[in-house]
Structure 1
Amino acid sequence: MPDRPVALVPAESADLAEVVAAPPLENLHRIGGEMFSWTDRDPQRSPALPSGGLLRYLFGSLAAPEKGGPGRTVLVAGPHSDELIGVLVDAGATVTWLLRSLTDAEECAAAHPAVTVLTGTLGKLAPDQYDLVLAADGVTRLNSAEGDQMPVGAMIDRLSLAVNAEGTLLLMHDNHFGVHHTVRLGPEGRHGTDASWYPEDSARPASRAALVDRIASAGLVADISFAAFPDPAAPAVLLSEKVLGDVASPLRPWLGSVVAQAFTAAYRGRPVLSDPRRLAGRALRAGAEDAVAGGWLVIAGSDKPRFMPHDVIVGDVHGTFTYGVDVSGSPELLVPVSEPLERAGLRRTGVPSVAAADGYLLEDRLLELCATSDVRRLRQEVIQFDSWVRDQARDGMLSGPVAVADVSDVLITRDGPVVLAVRWEPIDPVPVDTAVVRSLWQFAVRLITGARPHPWPITSSAMDLTTILLGMAGRGMTEPELRAAVDLQVAIDSAELGLRPAEQHDHKLNLLAVQPGTVPVDVVGYRELTEALWRQRYQTSHLLHMMEWTEDIIASRDRWLSKMDWEIQIYRASWPGRFLTVSRTAYRLISRDLRAARSRRRQRKAAAAAARRWRKSQKAKLPAED
């Protein structure tokens, strides 16, 4: 048990009269093994509750009336967010919710009168069967400290037994080798969180294939299985087994973009060991994304598969927007945005126009060319990008997703560049120069903050690199244009994160101050901090060496000047030195007098010549007068 005070203990004692007078909760049933002084709904001490647009779509689709009509029996195992329970209730399902915490069960029973809430451990659950069993939180928090600890495999078998002959099981299983565990920066001891008290299970399924086999051994047939990114509690991208490991898939460039966006949104401002986008990107290029996924989601049934969603499903973590993508088809809207969302002068976009296409991401190619110092091909790519962006403009103004797309959102195909997944678009058109400067400036920031190799000195700032990249396309940049581009980036980040005016101001100052030694401005990892510290130490040592060299040069010149002054003083103190001094003084005086004499002589000659010319002119006039 944690050695800190339990989060559920109230700070103030409750009014006994109010507790006695409170009406009984008819929809709350204690089945045994419930935990009294415990809570699974404290975000500071417990893992996050399952939520997000993806889970809302899956819950709503599985509990839809066409899947069995109103009144379909549903068992929700473990803590879930209230919004997911609301989706099931709105679909007309008869919901039974199993929770191990008594206090959580009381709160949920009061908040959802139409839901039957069971409080206790999974081992005490009655042998009933349901049309739909949902365990998006996994099975870890179905055990109770008030009874025997069931192993993970046994809990999976128990959930499988709760599925009737035509029922469906949805199970999310946490991957302990996932990126979210690998990059976590925090206390890893036994008492790090309230969820760390249970023992480690060596027989726990450690891969997606092992999880599917375990469910199959319980008598269910897996309809489909997904790898979830970035976090199993709030998945934003689900990859089915059809695209997992297929490095030749035309969806691979687009997957790299959407997975990077998902990790950026999930880990922005969170301390981590290393940037999770690098690990996920390398896994996607190697076809090993299944091994490092945040978790695995399996949908299984008792007979033939009935629910076959898309190959890839992408959704908002804080919203309802969800769309699906197939390898052989175009993106399809599954759940629209609940209401028009406009922030900081930007509007939330919809389904991307293209996902499956042969080509390469422009950012990957630029990073490769910078690493190999191939300036010629780098210039060609920058010119092509600049020309394409300007071709999209009308009267020098850009509208739509292309106005806020940077090089990480552009796919280069045989038919030309196309924009992949962009979450926002400007309400009012943006000047094309501002859009181009922002795209290249954003790439320069990633070069510097990510310590990426490039052909230019490491002391170049983001503004210097942007000027160089624009110069490759024959363009220039002024300081007002750079500030306008940074303002556009601040607007994008504000729309994504909901920054307040004071936070926007600080964020803008951080962006303008990017230079070698600056940490990443979005996801700050310990490794990136170490790299930034190394770059700062390199600059400091370089400056120290320059100072030492300058001091050596100055000292050397002082020594030579002192030596020359010493020699001069010796010469002046001796008779030969005095004779040389007098001779030099006499030489200077004689030379001065000779120069003055020659000057007077030239003046006299010039005056005599002028007089002769005047006399000749006067003699020439006399015969003419006669």
Structure 2
Amino acid sequence: MSPNKPLRPPGAEMHAWSDLDGAHGTGPVRGTGLAALLAVAHGRTLVVGPHHPELLDTLPRADLTLLVRGLPDAEALAARYADRPGIRVCCGGPEQLADLPAYDTVVALDGLARLDSVEGAPSTWGQAFDLLATVLRPGGRLLLGVENPIGLHRLLAPPPPSTDSDWAALGEYDDTRPAGLARLRDRLTAAGLRIDGTWAAFPSPLAPVALLGTELLADADLTGFLQATLADAEPALPTSAEREPAFPRLADPERLAGAAVRNGAALELAPGWVLLAERPPHHGVDPVRHDALSPAAGAAPAAAVRVEGVGIQPVHRDPAGGWRFAGGGTVPSGRTVEDLLVAALLRRDVPAVRALLTAWQSGVEAGVPADRLVVTPGGSWQALTGAIEPVAVLRRLASRLVDAGLAELWPAGELAATLATMAGQQPEPLTADGGAGARGWRELLADRDRLADELAEARALHRWYERTLTDRDDELKRLRRIVSLLHGTPTARAGRLLLAAVRRLRPTP
């Protein structure tokens, strides 16, 4: 049997099932952000669950085993890697792991919920995890993805529709599944593993765009950078992006993610976590490795974020202090211009608002959105995205202030013009509807309430105008009647005769 031919034990595979095509659920775990963490893979590597082939292509190919439960997926992977004898494809449930040799690296970025086959014995989260731990040799590493049941992607979304893959999903009701990140770490530690890294995955555990390590999230000086990074993450999709549109949100996820960063709760509210754990080698015994087949393990980055014009960039600690992108750039510290403006607005500090707006709109960063522009402690300005038209930037800021309920003192239709005036620019007839990004039901309800208030005020003003005009019309009619009555009196007739006589006696010129 060829090393990369699907292994098909009787009764273990699902003959008409695919997790990779997204037809029965959410599709495989994917994203270039996760590829940055796969640098830790080394030696004999086992991948369990549905992973996008582009992720698999980044793994060592000298000794790689792939375990999927659907026969179509196994055959597709076997055909993809037919010319790579070091890759072995297995098909079936997690019970097959008991018969496999130990591995240097085990990758389960999709978690453990989609390992069971309907043709095999069902397993709980704890049983599947124990199987993964048993095939990890001393010195080996486990890269495990876990969804957060109370992450922002769950809190802000309506109940998801049921899919074919939910036939036996216990999810958060599985008593063997650790509840919360702290208990999850304790569970890994109790299994004899040492945790070497934890990352928060945004905006989705399935297709994260930003992976933020705990050390990076704990740095209070990076508030502006973290807010801009999470704001730049695209909304998650319920199924494959090729077929389904983004589902409606209960609130703007960008705003709540920024609030989570500001309040130090980004890790607890992250849609998912990725943990890197290592089984310490036995005392006095060197772990067996296959370094002749694959290089030594790489270093895991502190974060992996999207940088405009570059793509996903790993972030590492700078030995000289601070943080640095893999490409060489420095991660900016400080707060965003929007954060500073909102703080000044809440303090009713109009001079500070005017100074910030003037400095922003009079500089080269005038076209950079306020929520993507960081003011460093040294007073420099660092843009995290490209510039657009300054008019559109002010309109966008006005929309965000209105959506956040921070512009109740100004009419929404005039707010952008007011901001332009305070920035020392010629005011233009701007509106506050200039596409402030993703919106949710909460923002739509706020808009409805605001528009209802404006309509009620307009109607009250209309009624006052109608009443005033009616009163004045009635008064004018009364005065006309008085004039008409006076016009027919004897005194009025005598006056008219006298006036006519005077006109006849007046000499002609």
Q: TM-score range by the shorter chain?
A: 0.7 to 0.9
Distance of 2:306 and 2:34 partners within structure 1: 9
1:300-334 CA distances to partner (integer Å, 9 max, x unpaired)?
A: 11117976534333247999632304376455444
User: Which of the two has higher C-alpha Rg?
Assistant: 1
1:275 aligned to 242, 252, 266, which one? 252
**Counterpart position of 1:383:** 358
**Paired residues of 1:52 and 1:320 also in contact (CA < 8 A):** no
- Aligned residue for 1:13? none
- Name whichever of 79-88 and 115-124 sits farther off: 115-124
Shift in alpha-carbon separation, 1:417–1:183, aligned structure 2, 3 A: same
What TM-score, normalized to structure 2?
A: 0.83
Corresponding residue of 1:418: 381
Q: How does 1:324-403 map to 2 (within 5 A)?
A: 324-326=315-317, 329=321, 331-334=323-326, 352-355=329-332, 357=333, 359-387=334-362, 389=363, 392=364, 402=365
User: How many residues are aligned here?
Assistant: 481
- Measured in 2, the distance between the counterparts of 1:175 and 1:103 equals 29
Where does residue 14 of structure 1 map in the other structure? none
Aligned-pair identity in percent equals 28
Q: Relative to structure 2, which stretch is displaced further, 320-329 or 115-124?
A: 320-329
The residue type equivalent to 1:28 in the other structure is P
Which residue of 51, 55, 70 maps to 1:101?
70
Please name the residue that 2:467 is paired with: 552
Say whether 1:254 aligns with 2:225: yes
Alignment of 1:260-299 (within 5 A): 260-263=231-234, 270-299=247-276
Distance 1:319-1:28 versus aligned 2 partners, 3 A rule: farther
Q: Cα–Cα, structure 1 residues 317 and 383, in superposed 2: closer, same or farther, change >3 Å?
A: closer
Whether the 8 Å CA contact 1:313–1:325 is kept in 2: the answer is no
Separation in 2 of the partners of 1:330 and 1:266? 34
Segment drifting more, 121-130 vs 40-49: 40-49
Q: Which amino acid aligns with 1:86?
A: D
Contact 2:36-2:314 at 8 Å conserved across structures: no
Q: What root-mean-square deviation, in Å, do the aligned CA atoms of Structure 1 and Structure 2 show?
A: 3.4
* Secondary structure in 1 matching 2:451: helix
Deviation at 1:78, TM superposition (A): 0.2
Distance 1:583 1:35 in 2: 115
2:496 is the alignment partner of 1:581:
no
User: After the TM superposition, which residues 169-208 of structure 1 pair with which residues of structure 2 at under 5 Å, given as runs?
Assistant: 169-187=142-160, 191-192=162-163, 194-195=165-166, 197-199=168-170, 200-208=173-181
- Partners of 2:18 and 2:24 within 8 A in 1: no
Q: Which of 470, 475, 479 is equivalent to 2:420?
A: 470
Change (3 A) 1:153 1:581: farther
Q: 1:58 aligns with which of 37, 44, 48?
A: 37
- One-letter code aligned to 1:92: R
Aligned to 2:394, what secondary structure does the other structure show?
helix
Q: Amino acid of the residue matched to residue 581 of structure 1? A: A
Question: By how many angstroms is 1:292 displaced?
Answer: 0.5
Task: Give the 5 Å matches for 1:13-24.
Answer: none
SS at match of 1:250: helix
- 1:313 correspondence with 2:276: no
Give secondary structure in 2 for the equivalent of 1:283: helix
- The match for 2:6 among 19, 28, 36 is 28
Contact 1:263 1:276 in 2 (8 A): no
Q: Distance in 1 between matches of 2:177 and 2:236?
A: 30
**Within 1, Cα distance between the matches of 2:502 and 2:164?**
95
Contact 2:201 2:211 in 1 (8 A): yes
Higher relative contact order (CA 8 A, sep 6+): 2
Q: In 2 relative to 1, CA 324–583 (structure 1 residues): closer, same or farther, beyond 3 Å?
A: farther
- Higher share in helix: 1
Look up the match of 2:287: none
Structure 1 residue 553 displacement after superposition = 1.8
Q: Secondary structure at the match of 1:164?
A: strand
Partner Cα separation in structure 2 for residue 220 and residue 407 of structure 1: 44
Change (3 A) 1:560 1:213: same
Cα offset for 1:127? 4.1
Corresponding residue of 1:43: 22
The alignment partner of 1:142 has SS state of coil
Distance 1:325 1:583 in 2: 107
Q: Give the letter for the 1:309 counterpart.
A: A
Residues 313-371 of structure 1: CA deviation (Å, up to 9, x unaligned): 3247999632304376455444x6xxxxxxxxxxxxxx65442x3x4321012123334
Letter in 2 for 1:467: A
**2:79 is equivalent to residue 110 of structure 1:** yes
CA contact (8 A) 1:168 1:302 kept: yes
Shift of 1:467: 3.0
Query: Given the alignment, which residue of 86, 109, 124 partners 2:57?
Result: 86
Tell me which of 91, 94, 98 is aligned to 1:119. Answer: 91
Distance 1:477 1:156 in 2: 62
Please tell me the residue identity of whatever aligns with 1:47: T
